Amino acid sequence: MAEMPSAEDWKREAIHLHFRNQAFIEGKYVAARSGKTFDCVNPATGEVLTKVAASDKEDVDRAVAAARKAFESGAWSRMAPAARKKKLQKLAELMIKHAGELALLETLDMGKPIRDSSSIDIPAAANCIAWNAEAVDKLYDQIAPTDPNVVALVTREPLGVVGAVVPWNFPLLMACWKLGPALATGNSVVLKPAEQSPLTAIRLGELTAEAGIPEGVVNILPGFGETAGQAIGLHDDVDGVAFTGSAEVGKLFLQYAGRSNMKHVSLECGGKTPHIVMADCPDIEAAAKAAAFGIFFNQGEVCNAGSRLLVDRRIKDEFLDKVMKVGERLQPGDPLDPKTRMGAIVDKTQLERVLGYIEAGKKEGAELRMGGKRARAESGGFYIEPTVFDKVDNRMKIAQEEIFGPVLSTITFVEPEEAIRIGNDTMYGLAAAIWTRDINTAHRAAKALRAGVVWVNCFDEGDMSTPFGGFKQSGFGRDKSIHALSKYTELKTTWIRLH
């Protein structure tokens, strides 16, 4: 196996990085029409990496017009699926070829450990593009079982122009979860990355051109949610929006659709995952490790983070000690150091937000057992210690609201039914996990938990072949798997009478 570069190697490479920092419209990098830019900050140091084009409504209009023109031309939308497949495979190959650079951009921009961006984010993003490419020439339309004197074709067609608005926690991966199926099914896309982490998405623009995807099919608009994001949501010529982010903004997209052209909307809006550990847990060590990584991985900035640990009262003390032992080893460090397992929080606002939740937890009477403070402040960056609360009541703010930081809330229960009730007592329903040796408890819980994904005796398992998305206010519509493709298509029925 090739040796992982050292922190010094990555830092040397970072000095020579050329940041693409403009919008990518109709195959070219362009400044925002207004000429405005915003600072792109490295959360590990607080330093400005580059100034990025602040696209707004005018730029959205330009990008949507380019996307529409490309769609109507048929250069992509009517290309044979097998030919689209080849271009997307090429894109995936280019992403792997430039994986080191993309991983470095992701880590510098967002603060996640280079170990994760290079071994998880970038390979998974490329795999998502490749998987969708592979799928698209293996899908058949249908003929309905009607009267034999007619033929009724049930076919799928691309929506047209798709807006993709994505968050900062897995910047390139979230972009590719939208781009993969949207492009595979023949749509044109206008993508707005989060303002905190636009660099990999911008770089991807160039790679789509190199892969031979026609100009105008992929447009990337860095900018703010209230301007560029809103303009995409309200645009009358955008046929569908695929969104990942907070429930609050997800609801705005529903309003935007109602106020404009009733565009399709799909939402992936976070969660408050219950991680349930029964007294008959088959492997306490594995469960404790999963509970710790489930909340501290990616600095806790994960929509399905196991932020509520629900443990049987009889084993709570022993179990929590084990979780904290793992957590102690995950102290935040320089994201460019390959040994670092927890990096920097994405920006100062999020740092303060998470610290605010920690204060709220203390005030409401939860017992702070570990961490709770800012770390490495001398670096100029935004780090938080892995934090564990015990004696949490599910009605507390830290148990109900999505913190999006490395903060675990521990809640105890006596009966399995109580664990399910507490687990479901949240506005979210993205994911849930349960550890038990009893097959009946496992099946009953899996059915009763109102969540889009349930893990039994494991946590955070995932594959491109399985759908991801939530119940309740975690949103609707699924990313990944064959099911995601239908989100980007319309069903058409064509009747042909035989004479």
The residue ranges that bind ligand NDP (CB under 6 A) are 165-169, 192, 194-196, 224-226, 229-230, 233, 244-246, 249, 252, 268-270, 303, 402, 404
Q: Show Cβ contacts of residue 220 under 8 Å, excluding neighbours closer than 6 positions.
A: 23, 24, 191, 192, 193, 201, 202, 204, 205
Task: Kindly state the greatest CA–CA separation across the chain.
Answer: 82
Got the DSSP string for 290-341? HHHHHHHGGGG--TT---EEEEEGGGHHHHHHHHHHHHHTT----TTSTT-S
> 94 vs 269, which CB is nearer to ligand NDP?
269
Cα 157–chain centre separation: 26
> 116 vs 268, which CB is nearer to ligand NDP?
268
> Least distance in Å: CB of 194 to ligand NDP?
4
Q: Which two tokens stand for residue 468?
A: 């991801």
Identify the DSSP state of 77.
T
> Least distance in Å: CB of 196 to ligand NDP?
6
> Least distance in Å: CB of 486 to ligand NDP?
21
> Least distance in Å: CB of 370 to ligand NDP?
21
Cα 460–chain centre separation: 13
Count CB atoms within 10 A of the CB of residue 26: 18
> Least distance in Å: CB of 225 to ligand NDP?
2
> 244 vs 481, which CB is nearer to ligand NDP?
244
Strand, coil or helix: 3: coil
> Which position among 176, 281, 303, 385 bears the catalytic label?
303
> 135 vs 201, which CB is nearer to ligand NDP?
201
Q: End-to-end alpha-carbon separation of the chain, Å?
A: 66
C-beta of residue 224 within 8 angstroms of C-beta of residue 349:
no
> 23 vs 88, which CB is nearer to ligand NDP?
23
C-beta of residue 186 within 8 angstroms of C-beta of residue 82:
no
> Which position among 268, 301, 385, 402 bears the catalytic label?
268
> 10 vs 357, which CB is nearer to ligand NDP?
357
> Least distance in Å: CB of 251 to ligand NDP?
10
Please confirm, yes or no, whether 303 is among the known catalytic residues: yes
> Least distance in Å: CB of 295 to ligand NDP?
14
C-beta of residue 481 within 8 angstroms of C-beta of residue 465:
yes
> 257 vs 320, which CB is nearer to ligand NDP?
257
Cα 334–chain centre separation: 23
Q: Show Cβ contacts of residue 64 under 8 Å, excluding neighbours closer than 6 positions.
A: 161, 190, 232, 235, 237, 238
Strand, coil or helix: 27: coil
> 131 vs 404, which CB is nearer to ligand NDP?
404
Strands 387-390 and 407-413: parallel
Please confirm, yes or no, whether 26 is among the known catalytic residues: no
Nearest-angstrom CA–CA distance, 406 and 399: 13
Nearest-angstrom CA–CA distance, 172 and 463: 17
Nearest-angstrom CA–CA distance, 37 and 441: 55
> 113 vs 229, which CB is nearer to ligand NDP?
229
Nearest-angstrom CA–CA distance, 161 and 164: 10
Torsion angles phi and psi, residue 476, rounded to 5? -155, 160
> Least distance in Å: CB of 157 to ligand NDP?
27
> Least distance in Å: CB of 275 to ligand NDP?
17
> Least distance in Å: CB of 124 to ligand NDP?
14
Which residue carries 């899996």 as its tokens?
446
> 158 vs 294, which CB is nearer to ligand NDP?
294
Q: Show Cβ contacts of residue 417 under 8 Å, excluding neighbours closer than 6 positions.
A: none
* Per-residue three-class SS string for 226-289: HHHHHHHHHCCCCCEEEEECCHHHHHHHHHHHHHCCCCEEEEECCCCCEEEECCCCCCHHHHHH
Nearest-angstrom CA–CA distance, 349 and 334: 20
Fill in the amino acid letter for 359: E
Question: Which residues are the active-site residues?
Answer: 268, 303
